[in-house]
Amino acid sequence: MTKQAVRRKAREDFWERNRKSGGYLVKKKIMGASYKFVRVLLLFGMCFLILQPLITKVAVSFMAERDLYNPIVITIPETFTADNYKMAAELLGYGKALWNTLRTSLLVALLQISMCTIVGYGFARFNFPLKKLWFGCVVMMIIVPPQTLSTSLYMYFRHFDILGVIKAVTGSDINLQKSQIPYYLMSMGCMGLKNGLYIYMIRQFFRNIPKDLEEAAYVDGCGTLRTFIRIMLPDAKPILTSCFLFSFVWQWTDNFYTKLFMGDMDLLARKLTTLVDTLNYYVINTLHNRSGASVAYGNCILSTGTLMVITPLLLLYLFAQKGFVESLSSTGIKM
Of residues 25-64, those binding other proteins (CB under 8 A): 36, 39, 42-43, 46-47, 49-51, 53-54
> Any contact of residue 254 with other proteins (CB under 8 A)?
yes
Report the residue number, 91 or 310, with the smaller CB distance to other proteins: 310
Which residues in 258-277 contact other proteins (CB under 8 A)? 259, 269, 272-273, 276
> Any contact of residue 226 with other proteins (CB under 8 A)?
no
Which residues in 108-167 contact other proteins (CB under 8 A)? 115, 118-119, 121-123, 125-129, 131, 134, 137-138, 141-156, 158-159
> Any contact of residue 9 with other proteins (CB under 8 A)?
no
The set of residues, in sequence order, having a beta carbon less than 8 Å from that of 140 and lying 6+ positions away, is 196
Report the residue number, 244 or 252, with the smaller CB distance to other proteins: 252
Report the residue number, 4 or 148, with the smaller CB distance to other proteins: 148
268 touches 98 (CB < 8 A) = yes
CA separation for the pair 225, 120 (Å, rounded): 14
> Any contact of residue 256 with other proteins (CB under 8 A)?
yes
Which residues in 74-113 contact other proteins (CB under 8 A)? none
> Any contact of residue 289 with other proteins (CB under 8 A)?
no
DSSP 242-307: HHHHHHHHHHHH--HHHHHH-TT---HHHHHHTHHHHHHHHHHHTS--TT-S-HHHHHHHHHHHHH
Interface stretch with other proteins, choices 13-21, 76-84, 87-95, 317-325 (CB under 8 A)? 317-325
Label residue 316 exposed, middle or buried (CB < 10 Å: 0-12, 13-18, 19+). Answer: middle
Report the residue number, 95 or 126, with the smaller CB distance to other proteins: 126
Shortest distance (Å) from residue 62 CB to other proteins: 19
> Any contact of residue 206 with other proteins (CB under 8 A)?
no
* Nearest CA-CA partner of 183 in 195, 197, 173: 195
HSE-CB for 78 with a 13 A CA cutoff: 11
The DSSP call for residue 229 is I
Residue 142 corresponds to which amino acid? I
Report the residue number, 6 or 30, with the smaller CB distance to other proteins: 30
CA separation for the pair 245, 251 (Å, rounded): 10
Report the residue number, 147 or 170, with the smaller CB distance to other proteins: 147
CB atoms within 10 A of CB 98: 20
CA separation for the pair 62, 71 (Å, rounded): 16
Among 21, 224, 285, 289, binds other proteins (CB under 8 A): 224
- Kindly write out the interface string for residues 168-197 of this chain, putting x where it contacts other proteins by CB under 8 A and - elsewhere: -----x-----------xx-xxxx------
In angstroms, the Cα distances linking 31 to 11, 24, 26, 41, 87 are 19, 10, 8, 15, 54
Interface stretch with other proteins, choices 16-24, 229-237, 281-289, 322-330 (CB under 8 A)? 322-330
Interface stretch with other proteins, choices 10-18, 69-77, 78-86, 310-318 (CB under 8 A)? 310-318
